Amino acid sequence: MSHPHPELGPPPKLPEGGLRVTPLGGLGEIGRNMTVFEYGGRLLIVDCGVLFPEEEQPGIDLILPDFSSIRDRLDDIDGIVLTHGHEDHIGGVPYLLREKPDIPLIGSKLTLALIEAKLQEHRIRPYTLEVAEGDRERLGPFDCEFIAVNHSIPDALAVAIRTPAGMAVHTGDFKMDQLPLDRRLTDLPTFAKLGEEGIDLLLVDSTNAEVPGFVPPERDISNVLRQVFAGAQKRIIVASFASHVHRIQQILDAAHEYGRRVAFVGRSMVRNMGIARDLGYLRIPAGLVVDVKTLDDLPDDEVVLVCTGSQGEPMAALSRMANRDHQIRIVQGDTVILASSLIPGNENAVYRVINGLTRWGANVVHKGNAKVHVSGHASAGELLYFYNICKPRNLMPVHGEWRHLRANAELGALTGVPKNHIVIAEDGVVVDLVNGSAKIVGKVQAGYVYVDGLSVGDVTETSLKDRRILGDEGIISVFVVVDSTTGKVVSGPQIQARGSGIEDAAFSAVVPKIEEVIAKSASDGVVEPHQLQQLVRRTMGKWVSDTYRRRPMILPVVVEV
């Protein structure tokens, strides 16, 4: 197995007749999925998603793939193939289309409907090409065949990309549910045919590669939901991904069976379920769904609320209910169902929400105490089965953290893929398929690009470090006025602290030290404001560290008069 190395330099020119694969997101992380394929000077992109921030990224809304390696080649892009409609696969599309709005988007009916609704908010009208399983489209030099795969959203597709260099198959996210709610199976016969034809490079979803066995079927959830509905005495509040149409269908079916009305809460939930209903993916009996404003007129035991926030997102409806910051107030006896799995990294936020809801008297049903969710990603048993069908010549695990990628690689090796034909890469690592062999050849820039409000890419790691310091240690500002000629203190130092935990009166002990260091610098002829600011920062920082063992941000301001 080949592994990336920190010392990798820029990749060489792609050999004639070779296929280059560059993941710009989704390797080493769950989210931000984006892979660039290059052949003959042309580019094809598969997915363009976002990653959601963690606690150590305060103030950040979204994290995008880094487009810098393709920014001067936007005219070379023949299309963006979208495997399915989840945010970690389509959320970055508006930001790429801002740079070139006419890049074609290729995807299934539901996937395109979801991205078109998102692009409408960005005032972008995309050029789209709708495809379905079994379709085959030529995009520049890339001959793309689309294959049905089963996932936790309808209409998911894998894509086989044929070029003169060989065939690459990207699974997108998939599993092999044998009893899917929509009866749309992962198309194993087509994958078997592709295997017989010869898959030169297989890029495979790794998310559940560490989980043994097979993922239980989605329909197992229905009986559990019925039991929860049967035992609920008051309102039922269900938190789910706004794109999990199958799970919402199960909720609607249970609500209909137990004589409850359903209201969708949250902009993305209302929008996505409206799209799914209009396209026929969601079957809603007449009169079942009502406006949230009418719920006050219904008894509590006839109400179901479906909202976002299953991952503990601070601004989502469920988190705000837990914090008593929402129009819907949790009361004793309410039942809350978290109908989703935990995305790695979100555990603390989710448990904080569960504790908040429980505090107000809710009965919280989640994956830890009831079977209210099954994963949308293939487990180890399914992956082994899949490899034996596809028989890839080269394997590249994608979509997962390092432990998932490594586990997936080991599964491939068990089924007979030679270890020297298994590539474990990471974001930015360039893989070339030449003469039937896939090898790491270099690395391009693929760092995090932060979205903060309307700002894209302006927030740097340094900015985030400052935010973390402010959040952890607070800030101390020191304002001093000095004589521009003599350098002596005319006014101040005035010291203010926010969030440092130090009382204002305590700063009287450091004022003489600051005056002393400024006076000494004046006698040495150092009167330039910037240099004086550095002296003040060091003096204040040392005093705080020695006295309190703290490291707040020090903001010195020296003004000359």
Q: 469 Cβ partners below 8 Å, 6+ apart?
A: 551, 552, 553
- pLDDT, one tens digit per residue, over 43-77 is 999 999 988 776 666 566 778 899 999 999 999 99
CA 427/CA 430 separation, integer angstroms: 9
**507 has pLDDT over 90:** no
- Give the per-residue pLDDT at 497: 78
What are the residue ranges spanned by the domains of the chain? 19-213+375-453, 220-365, 461-560
Mean of pLDDT values over 371-387: 90
CB-facing half-sphere around the CA of 42: CA atoms within 13 A: 14
Exposure string over 80-112, b if 16+ CB within 10 A, otherwise e: bbbbbbbbbbbbbbbbbbeeeeebebbbbbbbb
Given CATH 3.40.50.800, say whether it is the number of domain 19-213+375-453.
Answer: no
Structure tokens at 206: 């790794």
Does the annotation place 375 within a ligand binding site?
yes
What value does the mean pLDDT of the chain take?
A: 86
Q: Which residues pair with 337 in a beta bridge?
A: 238, 365
Output the CA–CA distances (angstroms, integers) from residue 215 to 58, 154, 200, 356, 377, in the order listed: 35, 17, 27, 31, 8
State the residue for tokens 């006025």: 481
Query: At how many degrees (to 10) do helices 402-414 and 380-390 cross?
Result: 50
CA 199/CA 546 separation, integer angstroms: 64
**553 has pLDDT over 90:** no
Domain boundaries 461-560, corresponding CATH code = 3.10.20.580
Hey, how many other C-beta atoms are within 10 angstroms of the C-beta on 252?
Answer: 21
357 with 331: CB under 8 angstroms?
A: no
Does the annotation place 376 within a ligand binding site?
yes
Mean of pLDDT values over 394-410: 95
User: 295 or 156: which carries more pLDDT confidence?
Assistant: 156
- pLDDT, one tens digit per residue, over 214-229 is 998 888 888 888 988 9
Instruction: Indicate the DSSP class of residue 316.
Output: S
CA 464/CA 470 separation, integer angstroms: 10
Structure tokens at 560: 């000359």
Cis status of the peptide bond prior to 493, with omega within 30 of 0: yes
CA 423/CA 530 separation, integer angstroms: 51
Q: SS3 of 518, please? A: helix
- H helical segments located in 323-449: 347-359, 380-390, 402-414
User: 457 or 250: which carries more pLDDT confidence?
Assistant: 250
Does the annotation place 373 within a ligand binding site?
yes
- Give the per-residue pLDDT at 182: 87
Q: SS3 of 23, please? A: strand
240 with 306: CB under 8 angstroms?
A: yes
Does the annotation place 530 within a ligand binding site?
no
CA 500/CA 470 separation, integer angstroms: 9
Q: SS3 of 531, please? A: helix
Instruction: Indicate the DSSP class of residue 242.
Output: T
Structure tokens at 216: 């239980």
Domain boundaries 220-365, corresponding CATH code = 3.40.50.10710
- Among 33, 55, 53, CA closest to 472: 55
- Give the per-residue pLDDT at 526: 65
Give residue 375's pLDDT band: very low, low, confident or very high (50, 70, 90).
confident
Hey, how many other C-beta atoms are within 10 angstroms of the C-beta on 188?
Answer: 17
**146 has pLDDT over 90:** yes
- H helical segments located in 360-460: 380-390, 402-414
**512 has pLDDT over 90:** no
CA 547/CA 550 separation, integer angstroms: 8
Q: Tell me which of 78-82, 398-402, 477-481 is least confident.
A: 477-481
Q: 186 Cβ partners below 8 Å, 6+ apart?
A: 148, 149, 150, 174, 175, 176, 177
128 with 140: CB under 8 angstroms?
A: no
**401 has pLDDT over 60:** yes
User: 483 or 537: which carries more pLDDT confidence?
Assistant: 537
Mean of pLDDT values over 279-297: 87
- Among 365, 343, 364, 388, CA closest to 173: 343
**317 has pLDDT over 80:** no
Does the annotation place 170 within a ligand binding site?
no
484 with 461: CB under 8 angstroms?
A: no
